[in-house]
Amino acid sequence: MESSPNENDKTASEDARSPATRRWRRLKQIAFVGVVLVAAALVYRHYWLARPLGEGPAGPPVDGELFRETWSERQVLLLGVGDSVTAGLGASRKELSYFARLQRNPGDEFPSMRGRCLSQTLPNLRARNVAVSGSNSIQHLASIARLEEQPAETFGIVVLTTGGNDLIHWYGRRPPTEGAMYGATLEQARPWIASYEQRLHKMIDELENKFPGGCRIFLGDIYDPTDGVGDAPSVFLPDWPDGLAIHGEYNKIIHRCAAERETVYLVPIHQTFLGHGSHCTQFWRRTYRSDDPHYWYSTNIEDPHDRGYDALRRIFLREIAGSYRRSSDE
């Protein structure tokens, strides 16, 4: 005797409510939620936490034609002044700092940069680096004042990074003050910002006085490890709501100084490093660098790693070479 439709429906309903079926459906639901959570965690890690370093050369190209002829037969002193960026903190080897790479190519130089260094084109070059890691602009002025005056036959090529530590020290562990402003409000920082502008011009005055035979000063502006977002670049640091505004005021001062002083040349560190900070993987941001979406800073957040120093070397070289090319055209 055949079962009626109602009896078939009843049997199917009982099967659906059986403990084994319910367990299987529950397991599938848990598995689905687990997959979604894992995928979300991987996406969050990649776009918010991961900081891939990349490999190979970094930064803009440098025209090799500029280094095929001697620029000058004069005695030239390459002088490094400033903070840990010029001191080379974060480089895996001393010869991979931007200052060392300006002088001569390291033994394992990239093919595209061989022969592109100052010793290649300035035969009477010597170098001295007085930059100190952790120092601020107040200390930089004092350091420059202690330098001895150079002979009249010596021409100076000065590379200077100053002001970065004024902004970031001491990461909110102490109340903000001049020379260590982390956590300050913009209004609180205004007198310190004004003092920095006066101090920077005094540095330029002092450096010009140290080189009676003439000099060119290559002044880097200050990079932003947050890629223009302004959040704390590490979970271990407190938020600083006015940080970007104060940082912007410092860079305006540096840009004005380069525009107003004949001996000063701006090195665009800030623009070059945008997109290579803590948000380097976030493709939706305007700072995203699809050609090199990698992190250029070392583990301390403050300083570049080897690829970052490669990029720094390139932009300093481009400005130095450009200054000699312009002078030869005059």
pLDDT of residue 26: 77
Whole-prediction pTM: 0.88
Report whether pLDDT(3) > 80: no
Contact 213, 154 (CB under 8 A): yes
DSSP 192-207: HHHHHHHHHHHHHHHH
Instruction: Compute the distance between CA of residue 13 and CA of residue 1 in angstroms, rounded to an integer.
Output: 21
Tokens of 30: 């848990």
Report whether pLDDT(242) > 60: yes
3-state secondary structure of 274: coil
Residue 185 gets the label, from left (phi > 0), alpha (psi -120 to 50) or beta, of: beta
- Co-location of 154 and 187 in the same domain: yes
264-267 and 154-161 beta bridge pairing: unpaired
pLDDT of residue 1: 45
The string of pLDDT tens digits covering residues 47-81 is: 555 788 999 999 999 999 999 999 999 999 999 99
- Co-location of 131 and 27 in the same domain: no
The string of pLDDT tens digits covering residues 251-278 is: 999 999 999 999 999 999 999 999 999 9
Report whether pLDDT(15) > 90: no
Helices (H), 45-163: 84-87, 98-103, 118-121, 137-146
Contact 218, 265 (CB under 8 A): yes
- Co-location of 36 and 136 in the same domain: no
User: Percent of the chain at pLDDT above 90?
Assistant: 77
**Mean pLDDT, residues 244-248 taken together:** 97
Q: Which residue has the higher pLDDT, 313 or 11?
A: 313
Q: Which of 222, 226, 230, 218 is nearest to 165 (CA)?
A: 222
Report whether pLDDT(10) > 60: no
Give me the number of domains the chain comprises: 2
The string of pLDDT tens digits covering residues 300-322 is: 889 999 999 999 999 999 999 99
**Mean pLDDT, residues 164-181 taken together:** 95
Q: What are the E-state strand segments in the chain?
A: 75-82, 125-129, 154-161, 215-220, 264-267
> In this structure, how many other beta carbons lie within 10 angstroms of the beta carbon of residue 163?
26
Report whether pLDDT(16) > 80: no
- Co-location of 21 and 67 in the same domain: no
Mean pLDDT of the chain: 90
- Co-location of 20 and 82 in the same domain: no
The parent domain of residue 297 ranges over 50-329
Instruction: Compute the distance between CA of residue 262 and CA of residue 219 in angstroms, rounded to an integer.
Output: 12
- Co-location of 145 and 24 in the same domain: no
- Co-location of 39 and 184 in the same domain: no
- Co-location of 13 and 131 in the same domain: no
* Amino acid present at 186: L
pLDDT of residue 216: 98
Q: What angle do CA 196, 199, 201 make, to 5 degrees?
A: 115
- Co-location of 162 and 176 in the same domain: yes
Report whether pLDDT(24) > 90: no
pLDDT of residue 275: 97
Report whether pLDDT(329) > 80: no
CATH of the domain at 168: 3.40.50.1110
pLDDT of residue 232: 79
- Co-location of 24 and 153 in the same domain: no
- Co-location of 31 and 82 in the same domain: no
Tokens of 154: 């010596």
The string of pLDDT tens digits covering residues 78-111 is: 999 999 999 999 999 999 999 999 999 999 999 9
The string of pLDDT tens digits covering residues 121-161 is: 999 999 999 999 999 999 999 999 999 999 999 999 999 99
- Co-location of 211 and 133 in the same domain: yes
**Mean pLDDT, residues 37-46 taken together:** 58
pLDDT of residue 103: 98
Find the helix or strand (DSSP H, E) in which 45 lies.
none
